[in-house]
Amino acid sequence: MARQRHNIGFMAIDVIARRHGFSPWRQRFKGLTAEGIIGGQRILALKPQTYMNLSGESVQPACAFFKIPPEHVTAFHDELDLAPGKLRVKKGGGAAGHNGLRSMDRMLGTPEYWRVRLGIGHPGSKERVTGHVLGDFAKADQDWLVPLLDMVADAAPLLAEGRPEEFMSRVAAQKV
């Protein structure tokens, strides 16, 4: 399960937390949390441990407890409509069929949070989507996956400082 394409967001958070010396993970808010400082900002990393389609049930109580407004939330998630290794950052928008985002929209009461869309590619036909998303990354995917996750962690201070366009450009510029 840990190497599934659907978990690329958790993979990114793990690399960010490790690279920036976050606290150990602890169980709370129906998820795992770790805290650290990136770009001079105090950051709470959260990996919901609910079913993917109930992610908002973890995100909302954490936001309420720490008084984090939705516009200061950033969700890292898999994106079928982006080629493998591509990344886009945007604020708000639709869930595009992603049930985890749909749950966050519902529980936060707004879609106006940041999304880091990590491309996993589309398998080509609608019938193959579930197997693709829930399938593990292939060994050949490591050639783009590991550098992408490293670049996301390296550029994370730009995101924390509220410079998403520069974050996106930095990651894209470092592509192998």
Catalytic residue of the set 6, 20, 77, 98:
6
Active site residue 20: no
Give CA separation, 133 vs 8, 18, 82, 92, in Å: 10, 25, 13, 23
* pLDDT-based confidence at residue 2 (cuts at 50, 70, 90): low
Mean pLDDT of 70-97: 90
Greater pLDDT, 1 or 162 = 162
The parent domain of residue 26 ranges over: 5-173
Q: What is the pLDDT of residue 56?
A: 92
Residues 6+ apart with CB under 8 A from 73: 59, 63, 104, 108, 113, 114
CATH code assigned at 85:
3.40.50.1470
Q: Count up the domains in the chain and report the number.
A: 1
Predicted TM-score (pTM) above 0.75: yes
Q: Is the pLDDT of residue 96 over 80?
A: no
Mean pLDDT of 119-134: 88
Q: What is the pLDDT of residue 95?
A: 73
User: Mean pLDDT over all residues of the chain?
Assistant: 91
Q: What is the maximal distance between C-alpha atoms in the chain?
A: 45
Q: What is the pLDDT of residue 1?
A: 53
SS3 67: coil
pLDDT, tens digit (0-9, with 9 covering 90-100), for 130-144: 888 888 898 989 999
